[in-house]
Structure 1
Amino acid sequence: MRRMLDRLYAAALWLAAITFALIAVLVLLQVLGRLTDRAARLMDLPPPGLTIPSLAEFGAFLFTGAVFLGLAGTLQAGSHVRVKLLIQSLPDTLARWMGVLVCALAAGLAAFATWSSALQALDSLKFGSVSYGVIPIPLAIPQGIMTAGLALFCIALIDAMVTLARGGIPAYQAAEATTQEAE
């Protein structure tokens, strides 16, 4: 089970990274298209009009997908911002149970966000909602990706909570410890 979850978190991180790279490629193509148009005008030629329609929407949807797909993996890597002042001042046992409580509360919030996002995606699918841009994009696609990222984040929080409750060290604490040793 541990190996499967770790692979799932890593796969979501890779998808997030690929999504960010795709945003960069789309923006680069748009810039090159504008430069080509400008160069054509300078040579008194008609500009070819190389543009990517609905680039802003594509970029926003891809960015949203990347952020939500990256939530679980960044938690595992210890990259989420955590305020540890209270936990560091507590005895180990109490600190661990405080961590369990915080993970449980965060998982509850993530579960609610997942549920709300899923309802929105289902409504968009049911009513055939599309974006307003030149290229109509079914809104259920980015909403579904966001829901998947939230669900995976909820699983990662429950994973950390169970690990803490069993007396283990969750991945984010292990990653933070490794980072502190390297510094």
Structure 2
Amino acid sequence: MRMVLDRLYLWSGYAAGAFLIAIFVLMMLLSVGREFNLNVASGDDFAAWSLVAMAFLGLAHTFKRGEMIRVGLLLERLSGRPKQVAELISLSVAGAFIGYFTWQAGQLAFDSWRFGDMSQGVVVIPLWIPQFGMVAGLAILLVGIVDELVVVLQGRRPTYEMEPAATPEELIERIASGGGV
């Protein structure tokens, strides 16, 4: 099961990267196309939808790798059982919020599908298609949060939390590379 979840997070990150490349290609086509009087139909719409898919599909991968911005001022000062309880509370609250957000985004996409909502651009597509990237990304993030909740409930260190630096040189290297302390 661990391998399946890790691959889910990794492939979600790959999908986010693919949408980032799609945004780059679209923006280059739109920019260079102006010089040659070429137009990419609904290019701005596709770039915006790709941006949403990229942002949401990248959440779980970023969270699990410990690269998501997180305020740990209190958690960093705790240790032992108090730290575990605080991690459980923070993961439970995060899970509740993301669960609610996932449900609402899913309802939006379902309603768009049910009512046949279509985009308003030159290229008309069903709105549930671009909304699906947001729903999928949120659902995968929710799985990642529940995964971490189980890890902490088992008394293990969260996977997003790095081991403390063993040497001052390692600490300096982490800071220089933009990583966490």
Q: TM-score, normalised by structure 2?
A: 0.88
1:72 & 1:65 partners in 2: Cα distance? 13
Equivalent position of 1:168 in the other structure: 156
The secondary structure found in structure 2 opposite 1:130 is coil
AA at the equivalent of 1:7: R
Matched, 1:21 2:3: no
Matched, 1:100 2:88: yes
Residues 136/157 of structure 1: CA separation in 2 closer, same or farther (3 Å cut): same
Q: CA deviation at 1:91?
A: 3.1
Aligned residues of 1:74 and 1:80 also touching (Cα < 8 A): yes
Q: Which has the higher helix share?
A: 1
Equivalent position of 2:35 in the other structure: 35
The secondary structure found in structure 1 opposite 2:161 is helix
Match runs of 1:106-121 below 5 Å: 106-121=94-109
Q: Unmatched 5+ residue regions in structure 2? A: 175-181
Q: CA deviation at 1:31?
A: 1.7
Equivalent position of 2:114 in the other structure: 126
Equivalent position of 2:177 in the other structure: none
Residues 70/88 of structure 1: CA separation in 2 closer, same or farther (3 Å cut): same
2:172 & 2:58 partners in 1: Cα distance? 25
Quote the sequence identity (%): 34
Total equivalences in the alignment = 171
Matched, 1:149 2:134: no
Q: Deviations over 1:91-139 (max 9, x none)?
A: 3211111101111110111111111111111110011101111111211
Residue from 72, 81, 84 that aligns with 2:72: 84
Q: TM-score, normalised by structure 1?
A: 0.87
Equivalent position of 1:4 in the other structure: 4
How large is the Cα RMSD of the aligned pairs?
Answer: 1.9
Residues 101/87 of structure 1: CA separation in 2 closer, same or farther (3 Å cut): same
Residues 142/173 of structure 1: CA separation in 2 closer, same or farther (3 Å cut): same
AA at the equivalent of 1:21: I
Q: Unmatched 5+ residue regions in structure 1? A: 38-49
